[in-house]
Copies of this chain bind each other. A is one copy, B any other.
Amino acid sequence: MKLGLDIMGGDYAPKTTVGGAVEAFKVLPKEVKLVLFGDEGQILSLLKEHGVSADNFEIVHTTEVIEMAESPLKAVSQKPNSSIGVGFRYLKEKKIDAFASNGNTGAMMVGALYSVKAIDGVSRPCLITQVPMENGKTGILLDVGSNADCRPEMLCQFALLGQVYTKYICNTPDPKVGLLNIGEEEEKGNIVAQATHQLLKNHDGINFIGNVEARDLFDGNADVIVCEGFVGNVVLKEAEAFYKLIKRRKIEDPYFDRFNYELHGGSPILGVNSNVLVGHGISNEIATKNLILLAKNMVETGVTEKIQKAFSGNKWQ
């Protein structure tokens, strides 16, 4: 297994990305090789600082960097020799099994769509966030930002993507799907939510339990919660606001510790034909290590292939 990491992406790259790669290397089995995309000189020098031999990694020297604030489409097309550009070339040619970056999320999305492409039947790939449930389980919320405005069919696709992902990655045998809404009754909500409710209710392939209100988000009744990217991103960031308040107010609580983004590392881009992962821009070494471990988990479980199978020849197309 070969896992690719963009060394140049992220607010504190390449220091934290090389550091995260080193931390991951320490715990990964021998048969997993990390492939580092970035400036070779900087990578070698940082590995030396860590006292870890460069022989333990495969280094692919790249000469360009896509910055965090760059326009994704332009950056990907104009910087083919960037760490993100070369990484996706390797992914497309199956020289690596997964590609992860803490860099420009939009560029990662564009790169994925242009190289490995969306899975047949998936209109718009999406990003997820993990939801720590108070009962100890972990659920997911999707989309959390890549598709601000959605059509109801897209939310149904998110439901199926999330259902397969949760089954294999969160070890939930029969995941339950909820629709984020502002009331329990099926006629509640905005136009998109109302229409989505009907589609979800009438689809045999979805284990739909109905609407979920945000006040019950952490109760664990639903394992997969679907919503438009605008509202999902707001929910994710409001949780960050509370986590920030809890830390700033020096409240110690093991449940709230699970809201620490470092633990999850990042989010896969679900719905593309390979394993693509995006970390938080502010990721440190621990977050980067966990992003790599999530990539390994995705390759091992074959979750992307399971998703391709779930979408093949079904009525989602």
Point out residues on A near B: beta carbons under 8 Å.
Answer: 134, 145, 148-149, 180, 182, 189-191, 193, 213-218, 228-231, 233-242, 244-245, 248-249, 251, 253, 255-256
A73 to chain B, nearest CB (A): 13
Report Cα–Cα, A193/B228, bound state, in Å.
14
Once the chains bind, are A230 and B148 in contact (CB under 8 Å)?
no
Q: Name A252's closest neighbour in chain B (CB-CB).
A: B251
Cα-based distance from A235 to B237 in the complex (angstroms) = 10
Asked whether B182 lies within 8 Å of A145 as measured between CB atoms, the reply is: yes
A-B complex: 6 closest residue pairs judged by Cβ atoms? A214-B237, A148-B190, A215-B237, A214-B238, A182-B233, A190-B230
Closest to A134 in B: B245
Cβ–Cβ contact A180 & B251, under 8 A:
no
User: What are 13 A-B contacts with C-beta separation under 8 Å?
Assistant: A134-B245, A145-B182, A148-B191, A190-B230, A214-B234, A215-B240, A217-B238, A218-B241, A230-B231, A231-B231, A242-B242, A249-B253, A249-B255
Question: Closest chain B residue to A228 by CB distance?
Answer: B190
Chain B residue nearest to A227 (CB atoms) is B234
User: How many copies make up the complex?
Assistant: 2
Q: CB-CB < 8 A to A241: which residues of B? A: 214-218
**Distance of A231 Cα from B249 Cα, bound (Å):** 27
Instruction: Determine the residue in chain B with the shortest Cβ distance to A194.
Output: B148
- Docked complex Cα distance between A145 and B188 (Å): 10
| A236 to B: closest C-beta gap in Å | 8
A148 in contact with B215 (CB, 8 Å): no
Residues of B within 8 A of A237 (CB): 182, 213-215
How long is the Cα–Cα vector from A235 to B227 in the complex, in angstroms? 13
CA distance A182 to B233 in the complex (A): 6
* Chain B residues with CB below 8 A from A231, complex form: 230-231, 234
A76 → B minimal CB distance (Å): 18
Given contacts A235-B238, A238-B214, A251-B253, A230 and B182 within 8 Å (CB-CB): yes
- How many angstroms between the C-alpha atoms of A213 and B244 in the bound complex? 14
Q: How far is the CB of A246 from chain B (nearest CB, A)?
A: 8
On whether the beta carbons of B148 and A182 are closer than 8 Å, the reply is: yes
Q: How far is the CA of A234 from the CA of B218 in the complex (A)?
A: 13
A228 cross-chain contacts in B, Cβ below 8 A: 190
**Contact residues in B for A236 (Cβ distance below 8 Å):** 214
Tell me which residues across on chain B come within 8 A of A215, comparing CB atoms.
237-238, 240-241, 244
Q: In the complex, what distance in Å separates the CA atom of A240 from the CA atom of B214?
A: 8
Bound together, the chains give a CA A214 to CA B243 distance in angstroms of 12
> Which residues of chain B are within 8 angstroms of A229 by Cβ–Cβ distance?
182, 190
B-side contacts of A230, CB under 8 Å: 182, 189-190, 193, 231
Residues of B within 8 A of A253 (CB): 249, 251
Look across to chain B and name the residue whose beta carbon is closest to the beta carbon of A216. B241
In the assembled complex, the CB of A182 is this many whole angstroms from the nearest CB of chain B, namely 4
User: Which of A189, A214, A255 is the most central at the interface, judged by chain B CB atoms within 10 Å of its CB?
Assistant: A214
CB distance from A69 to the nearest CB of B (A): 9
